Amino acid sequence: MANIQELLESGVHFGHLTRKWNPNMAPYIYTERNGVHIIDLYKTSAKIDEAKEALKKIANSGRKILFVATKKQAKDIVAEKSKSVNMPYITERWPGGMLTNFVTIRKAVKKMASIDRMKQDGSFDALSKREKLQINRQREKLEKNLGSIADMTRLPGALFVIDVKKEHIAIAEAQKLNIPIFAMVDTNSDPRPIDFVIPANDDASKSIDKVLSYVTEAISEGLADRKADKEKAKTEKETESKKVEEVKTEEAK
């Protein structure tokens, strides 16, 4: 299980002021101290384990997990952790229709790739100074908003969100498409739209870092298992082919 002491040291248990609470978070609240709600870390630990198991399976199936965190204190952590397991992420503004209008988003990503090709094949050099400037600006804008999802060729297998209040548009889109939603949910948020709730402090960078380290560790395990399964299948196939060849050789004799 996720280590309670580690969660405590990372401040995962600190909720919001009691007057800002969402009553639907009541089952995950242990007590209140100095007007602040304290999250029950035993429940957090159990929920992290539940989420880890599910995320490991998704990663093992070969589908992508899209991380979403546009709040300042989460951006860099999410970008770093997602990259470590080769998963897509959104840390700038959520592009409306990112999931529900995925075809249009893919077109924008392809536009980015075509600009890169122009630069490689030399056709970019033939443009005027003004055209080059316009294309470079367009490329920078696309990179900022969509660069991290350039390799996402189909809809993700799951969404991992930090701050469900801030990322409500992303959650609404995932719900429409029945994409499982994992999220760090603080005491001021509604956990009901979330499939895998991790009750936790979603404001402190230490807390975000700690929860994500557990999450990405599980994804990494899922990816490693997938790789091992592929290699095993390949070896078995090669062994089978070898046997067939040996039989054929014997018969030819």
Which tokens go with 36? 């602040």
Higher pLDDT among residues 242 and 133, named by residue = 133
Report d(CA 88, CA 98) in Å as an integer: 12
For the segment 152-200, what is each residue's pLDDT rounded down to a tens digit?
Answer: 889 999 999 999 999 999 999 999 999 999 999 999 999 999 999 999 9
Q: What is the pLDDT of residue 240?
A: 80
Given a cut of 70, is residue 238 above it in pLDDT?
yes
How large is the average pLDDT for residues 87-105? Answer: 92
Residue in the structure block whose two tokens are 């090709």: 117
| Percent above pLDDT 90 for the chain | 75
Q: Which residues on neighbouring strands pair with residue 33, listed in sequence order?
A: 36
Written in H, E and C, the secondary structure of 144-182 is HHHHHHCCCCCCCCEEEEECCCCCHHHHHHHHHCCCCEE
Q: What is the pLDDT of residue 1?
A: 65
Confidence of residue 67 (pLDDT cuts 50, 70, 90): very high
Number of other residues whose CB lies within 10 A of the CB of residue 245: 10
Amino acid identity at 16 = H
For the segment 204-237, what is each residue's pLDDT rounded down to a tens digit?
Answer: 999 999 999 999 999 999 999 999 988 888 888 8
How large is the average pLDDT for residues 45-57? Answer: 96
Q: What is the pLDDT of residue 241?
A: 76
Q: What is the pLDDT of residue 144?
A: 85
Confidence of residue 2 (pLDDT cuts 50, 70, 90): confident
Which tokens go with 194? 């979330």
Strands 196-199 and 181-185: parallel
Confidence of residue 253 (pLDDT cuts 50, 70, 90): low
